[in-house]
A and B are shown apart, each in its own frame.
Chain A
């Protein structure tokens, strides 16, 4: 099957790749662009480990084809920190021990940032329902939810 040339913007950089039309955006990020921060946990859109922003919308990149990224903007976990300055969510996840194995963590961070970008002051229940598309098998979610609420407070300028 002949491949398709795709030009897209990932974390602010213009990138190009050739993709088989059957390959997902996740495959392209990981195997063609070397951006392995986004993970495949299921390949069916159930676990959220591959969460990225596509033109500002939170998506499971395993449910998007690589060819669909043409001309669009993709933001991944690799672009969340600005240089050495971690996003408050990243810092709070470490401080709260909100990760154990860490495999689901990139997806949770991308999804949590999408939440706080549109709702800076979520309730615990809003955090839990927003993150219901991200599976974590290690933590029971307790410390993840606390980290997100604490990061939100910091971003609002409130003392934790």
Chain B
């Protein structure tokens, strides 16, 4: 569908109240920890206090003897012989021969109360032999670093690489030497980012039950309950179809709830306790120490630029640690590094490195914020060196429809130029700046994702509709799905009920991740609704005695298509639904696919900061997010994604970061010390929704969830430089580091 063929919409683009709003403002909505079951036990987990240690002996006898304790498990209670990713997940769920990071689970207890379980956990005796550890990526990649796991490298790693390198990647195009030779300015710098946590306010929680017959149930806060089902059954050696997983409401995820942590423990404890349901709720310290923060990164960037801003060549080398298992998002970071630029010669090289930290999980556009921090900072450094406007320079090098991307394939329809033009026109660019104030600009990119999707919908007896989706609603998804379904059927928004259903009710769904839910579940819901429309047209045609092809669907009613089809008054959805039992039975639609037509998303941010030269504290004065949404189905929740992404990026830039001591222990596992932005840290966050419709979605949707976290890291670094003259090439840019950088200027 060409861009100008989109019709005016009746509902898409409006801002109705979300269907789950009432439950969520009254405290009725049930999240992971908000449920209890008859006979329920409570769990507590014993965790390693050491970054790296051999587990010599575990004695559970005292814990088992405590009255009220019903089960104690260790790795011995899990099946042996797993390989590959299943083994990785099992090893991360419960340590085997060695504890690999501070917080790694080594045993778990179930008891009749939470307090008894905690008391019993303290009675589990674990004897450790402490081993040398490493937590910094640049230390971990050294040839003589402590080896986290021999033989963990996959086929991409050539012979002779350091022992903790487990994946290697390299790609590019063009003549790099010629590109750098053609430049008027070549600069090369190194940037570092620290690991951050998604920081969802709801700690992980689940209620699991597993009988000796291998049948089980689970209630869990997750972005994707089919992933939970597959991972738990892989780790425990069960049949996936026998585990029924129901998603609770979810208190934030941002990628961190796309995998398992303590969920298999609830099932293993339940089985050992005679099938009694077991509730596991993590504390905040457990969340920070032992779930899945993002990777930390060390990145070399080299760029060649002509005096007019034309980029001639670029080269990046990224080193990332994602904890004690493979999976740092170095591949995606490389793909994103130069995605916003058309450069004749590029080379990318990346290393996934093991270290004694918790296993990284996805975090909003995994890899992209780090890459942007490095590349967008250096572009800014070069613009300042050459006295160039940062937006015009980005426009000059911007990728457009059909351009070859930095990672290989050609771009389809994209909106980077439209985003940059909209940014240039925004009044924030004209705001005057005072002393110690500066403005920074950066752009960002995310691919977006399709993924396994299964949706069903049915027409009720009164012509209203229900839609069953398998992607949990984290930020207004039910509203978007209801809008698109109602738009398609030609009925009212309030006449659609959207249910997020359990694994027993649909085919496999990937999680709400990759900015895919509104795109993929939405596209499937529209296709399912169109199936129902086809059936309703067929029923009307049969009533009228004409061909089904001679009936069309207009404004929620079947009507003859043109004068030759016959003269009949429109038959409304209510009339068709009222008679459905006597015209062939229930009317429904469903769609299962891995949708193609995913539309990539670009965004750009402008931030004004003021830096206190006495303390080094950075205050955000003004913040603008401009991003291509393709089509905003519910603009309020699109704005919310932009604002939330920006706020997380601001936290990553200015304050957040994992702090490990020399002993390899995490030193800031509480919100007081792992400081996420609070209301008084931020101004209003201005947004501009650019709409360059995605031709791959019936209503033009691009994913919007992830791109927004990418530009803040470099935009703020660039603004701090503009305000102070100091360039911060390491995150976080907290007051001590900014102050030190200012002092170093002399």
Contacts and interface: CB of A to CB of B under 8 A. Distances in A.
Interface of A: 20, 22-23, 27, 30-31, 34-44, 46-47, 49, 76-78, 80-81, 86, 90-91, 93-97, 99-106, 109, 124-125, 127-129, 131-146
A19 B679 CA distance: 35
A42 to B, nearest CB: 4
Contact of B17 (A95, A101, A104): A95
B15 A90 contact: no
Contact of A101 (B475, B680, B684): B475
A22 B115 contact: yes
Contact of B671 (A22, A36, A46): A46
A37 B26 contact: yes
A131 B17 contact: no
A40 to B, nearest CB: 7
A139 B685 CA distance: 10
A97 B640 contact: yes
B255 interface: no
Nearest to A84: B22
B369 interface: no
Interface in B680-700: 680-682, 684-685
Interface in B311-356: none
Contacts of B33: 30, 36, 39-40
A141 B647 contact: yes
Contacts, number: 193
28 contacts: A20-B115, A37-B27, A38-B27, A39-B31, A39-B33, A40-B33, A40-B281, A41-B201, A41-B202, A41-B251, A47-B284, A91-B25, A94-B21, A97-B636, A100-B644, A102-B251, A103-B202, A103-B250, A103-B251, A104-B201, A131-B679, A137-B198, A137-B199, A137-B254, A138-B474, A139-B640, A139-B647, A146-B684
Contacts of B560: none
Interface string B20-39: 11111111111101101000
Contacts of A30: 33-34
Contacts of B253: 101
B15 A135 contact: no
A41 B200 CA distance: 9
Nearest to B636: A97
A106 B636 contact: no
B31 A90 contact: no
B18 interface: yes
Contacts of B640: 97, 100, 138-140, 143
B51 interface: no
Given A80-B26, A97-B15, 20 more contacts: A22-B115, A23-B115, A39-B251, A47-B671, A76-B27, A90-B25, A94-B25, A97-B637, A101-B250, A102-B25, A106-B27, A124-B684, A131-B679, A132-B678, A137-B676, A138-B252, A139-B640, A139-B644, A140-B643, A140-B646
Nearest to B221: A103
Contacts of A97: 15, 18, 476, 634, 636-637, 639-640
Given A95-B17, A102-B251, A145-B679, A41 B24 contact: no
Contacts of B249: 101-103
B643 A143 contact: yes
Contacts of A138: 252, 474-475, 640, 644
Contacts of B678: 131-135, 141
B711 interface: no
B203 interface: yes
